Chains A and B, each alone.
Chain A
Amino acid sequence: MKSTILTIFLLVAAVFVLPFLMSPFLVYMITEVLIMGIFAMSLGLIMGFGGLHSLGHSAFFGLGAYTVVVLSQMVSSIYVLLLVAILIACAFAFVTGLIAIRSKGIFFLMLTFAFTQMLYLIFSQSGYWGGADGLGTSIKPNLGFVELTSPLSLFYLIGGFFILSYLLLRLFVNSPLGTGLQGVMENENRMIALGYNVRNYKVIAYIVAGGFAGLAGGLYAFKTQFASPDLFGVHMAATVIIMVYIGGMGTLFGPVLGAGIYIFLQNYVSTMTDRWSLIMGLIFIALVLFNRGGALHLIQLLIGKVSSYKLNVAKSKGVSLNELAKNKGTE
């Protein structure tokens, strides 16, 4: 409990203070990190806690972005726009999830990829929504009482959504359903034998992840004022997987860290050399080969906070269970 409050406090403080210490370009970049952070966390939820490796997670992000751009021609309220973006993403996750979740491993990966490619084709070929060129808009976040126009206010807005998403996802991971999900990842057959309706666990997690990715996409549209079919492309789908991997699976914060590393490298290294993606690739390979826990685990090792890497039920749950047990003993 204490650590939760501390986390919230640090996050809020960081979001408030950071812009005063940073250049406008940094503010802009961190805004992007926060958006991609929500996106990566949502993929991290199904990959790191559910064992569902999706190569089609960009579908929800793209749908969220397109929803905001297209609807912004008719609606200006950010609440309506984002809500519809989330709902559409959830609906797509529900329909495709029911189908994809029947399969596992590489088949799941290919199915999710196929669904996203389908969207890519639809959006790039169709005459509506700008076709292959994409569609622009000039929407400003309208909170009802105030319209946000400056990059700084956009940063605060997205910072707020980021913190909210983080807390909700954390609640989800620690909920009975989230715990069951981690059990499914550990040993699906035993979960079935214990009486869990495993399919529902996976579908619900898939929908929740889709919804948060939709939110991230919607926010992205507010930032870039643009949605293009590339959002459904292979590159986008792979990027977010890389973020989750380099940051660290099995935690919520790992993927955010991964998004940060990725975007920083992209922005800084690319000013120094054209081969930034080569460097990114080498980091990716190194982490996959030598440190499955990703950058977060590396940091934890450096500061000596973690002895072994097991950040699903065993760790996150185990720790809190033990804490509870201890508190009981001393009462």
Chain B
Amino acid sequence: MSLLKIKALNKSFKANHVLRGASLELSAGDRHVIIGPNGAGKTTFVNCIYGTIPLDTGEVILEDRAIHMMPSYKRVDLGIGRTFQKNNLFVNLTVTNNVYLALLSTKKYSMKAFKPLMLYEDVLEETDAFLKEWGMADRTDKKVNELSYGEQRVLEIILSLCSNPKILLLDEPTSGMSPSETASTIELIKKIPRSVSIIMIEHDMDVVFSTANKITVLHHGETIMSGKPEEIRGDKMIQEIYFGGGARTHA
């Protein structure tokens, strides 16, 4: 029984046909990693699932419910969260205020105007608890632009967890990280409870094979193969276009 069915997505930017029938099925608890060379359309795929950009044709079905026409904020309500390949944070605000804004969006009163400050206290407590839980308690009063790049990358993941998503879309969470930062980020991702199913784009093969229970290969906008890590690793064609054939690999 799959949680999320992504069926035959097509997306063009002018003459650039980026997604060509890309599909994917996510089951509950999956760590489903998407691999593929630069420019394959991986980020575009995530953008379309999340509603960041509209798709041309295709369907995204969450538990029997078509969500691909909904605006992002409705998809978030239904339990989808995401991170960005390029850090997308409130750089001028403190870590606390970043998380605070992320948690506030989940509150029923987030649109209340002319209500006093008192109402904020429960978000504040949650913010503290959240930062402790995810190991950023010592960074609370730092502004984001004072954090190291790796810390910003981690905050990117933490923010996406604030809405308590059922499904998390991670776009290259370890990109640009040092080996040690990468290692601790893998640990953090492993800490995410199984009640959260994950679709993750990743280039680093160590990360891929240490986290994935399924892998889909996206090539020129097509999902050319999907299966268990062993199957993908053993496949001739995949080895040629991805592991062998001079395509970009960090591993």
Contact = CB atoms under 8 A, between A and B. Distances in A.
A204 B113 CA distance: 9
B104 A176 contact: yes
B225 interface: no
A84 B220 CA distance: 60
B27 interface: no
A187 B76 contact: no
Interface stretch (B57-65, B81-89, B177-185): B81-89
Closest 8 pairs (CB-CB, A-B)? A195-B76, A177-B113, A183-B101, A186-B90, A195-B105, A194-B105, A197-B73, A314-B93
A92 interface: no
B82 A171 contact: no
Interface of B: 50, 52, 71-73, 76-77, 82, 84, 88-94, 96-97, 100-102, 104-107, 109-117, 119-121, 124, 128, 141, 143, 159-160, 162-163
Q: How large is the interface on A (under 10, 10 to 19, 20 to 34, 35 or more residues)?
A: 35 or more
A289 B114 CA distance: 35
A168 interface: yes
A164 B71 CA distance: 37
A198 B73 CA distance: 9
Contact of A187 (B77, B88, B113, B124): B88
Contacts of A179: 101, 104, 120
A190 B81 CA distance: 11
Interface string A192-204: 1111111011001
A190 B113 contact: no
Given A176-B107, A179-B104, A193 B50 contact: yes
Contacts of B121: 324
A208 interface: yes
Contacts of B82: 193
6 contacts: A190-B89, A193-B72, A193-B82, A196-B73, A318-B96, A318-B97
A313 B72 contact: no
B111 A200 contact: yes
Interface of A: 168, 171-172, 174-180, 183, 186-187, 189-198, 200-201, 204, 208, 310, 313-314, 317-318, 320-322, 324-325
A176 B92 contact: no
A318 B72 CA distance: 28
A191 B101 contact: yes
Contact of B110 (A171, A190, A196): A196
B97 A174 contact: no
A178 B128 CA distance: 22
A195 B79 CA distance: 10
B111 A177 contact: yes
Contact of A180 (B76, B96, B101): B101
B88 A193 contact: yes
Contacts of A320: 117
Contact of B97 (A192, A193, A321): A321
B119 A190 contact: no
Given A175-B115, A313-B97, A320-B117, A192 B73 contact: yes
A270 to B, nearest CB: 39
A320 B77 CA distance: 28
Given A177-B113, A194-B162, A195-B72, A317 B107 contact: no
Given A193-B52, A195-B73, A186 B110 contact: no
For B76, B110, B113, the residue with the greatest tally of chain A CB atoms inside 10 Å of its CB is: B113
B44 to A, nearest CB: 15
B77 to A, nearest CB: 6
A313 B106 contact: no
A104 to B, nearest CB: 17
Contacts of B92: 186, 310, 314
Indicate the member of B89, B107, B111 with the most A CB atoms within 10 Å. B111
Given A193-B72, A325-B124, 13 more contacts: A171-B114, A174-B116, A175-B114, A176-B109, A180-B110, A187-B90, A192-B73, A193-B84, A198-B73, A310-B92, A313-B97, A314-B92, A322-B141
